[in-house]
């Protein structure tokens, strides 16, 4: 189902292209819409290290990342 549509970007839960399990997120947008994924606040502890990871499949274009790994 549709989780979010905003500023030309749509995020949906789909049953295709799952890396593991049965579902994946499909993120799509209109040409020239750019895009970003923004979540709500996630509590963290100062001084601790955290790692966020994931898998993606791009059909067209390119993926640009910013910030340290």
pLDDT digits (tens, 9 = 90+) for 8-52: 778 888 888 888 889 888 888 777 666 566 667 788 999 999 987
For residue 8, what are its two tokens? 């030309």
The Cα–Cα gap between 55 and 18 comes to 9
Q: How many CA atoms lie within 13 A of 3 on its CB side?
A: 13
pLDDT digits (tens, 9 = 90+) for 54-67: 777 777 665 566 55
For residue 60, what are its two tokens? 């067209």
Instruction: Choose among 29, 31, 26, 28: nearest CA to 14.
Output: 26
Which residues partner with 13 through β-bridges? 25
> Looking at the whole model, is its pTM more than 0.75?
no
For residue 52, what are its two tokens? 């966020």
pLDDT at 27: 81
């Amino acid at each position: 189902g549709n989780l979010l549509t905003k500023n030309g970007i749509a995020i949906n839960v789909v049953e295709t292209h799952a890396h593991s399990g049965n579902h994946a997120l499909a993120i799509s947008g209109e040409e020239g819409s750019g895009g970003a994924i923004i979540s709500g606040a996630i509590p963290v502890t100062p001084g601790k290290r955290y790692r966020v990871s994931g898998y993606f499949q791009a059909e067209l274009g390119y993926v640009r990342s910013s910030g340290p790994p």
